[in-house]
Amino acid sequence: MLNFFKKKNEELYSIANGEVISITNVNDKLFANKLLGDGVAFLLSDGKIYSPCDAEVVMLAKTKHAIGLKTKNGGELLIHIGLDTVNLNGEGFNVFVKTGDKVKRGTKLVEVNLEFMNSKKIDLMTPIILTNGDEYSLNILKINQRISLNDVIIKLEKNKNGGKSL
């Protein structure tokens, strides 16, 4: 029975070194008002973005600013690197994965050229949101503090009824 529960819950580790903040503090109403889903945001210290868990890359924006991951328990995560970065058309991003790749926790996904982003005055607040939140609950463990890649930030818990009415 314990194995049954392990499959339903998943730990999400930090995607970056830096600081984790509340999604409501993101300088974009789409994220701050949780219109795309709930989550947290990261203030990057070194520009490197890593997978928060074992997952499949299910989406990579042509502009390289956003990555979609599907966790082993079916959670769908969107990592949106910076704000208004879609307008850069991929410039300033070095991507290490492609759609369909299976990644392990800690796999480097993207490296951001911080010098370039600073020259363009880009806000690099980086939200990670759960896009299928009707099926899952987020238990946010760390907020408004410095973090490293070894920190568990969120417990992703599959709802008992899978989000469907009984």
Strand partners, 150: none
Q: Which residues share a beta bridge with 158?
A: 136
Q: Find the catalytic residue in 42, 80, 125, 147.
A: 80
Which is nearest to 50 in space by CA: 119, 153, 156, 164? 153
80 tagged catalytic: yes
Residue 63 DSSP class = T
Which candidate, 123, 109, 108, places its Cα nearest to that of 68? 109
For the chain, give the longest Cα–Cα distance.
Answer: 54
Q: What are phi and psi of 84, to 5 degrees?
A: 60, 20
Residues 6+ apart with CB under 8 A from 5: none
Would you please indicate which residues are annotated as catalytic (active-site) residues?
Answer: 80
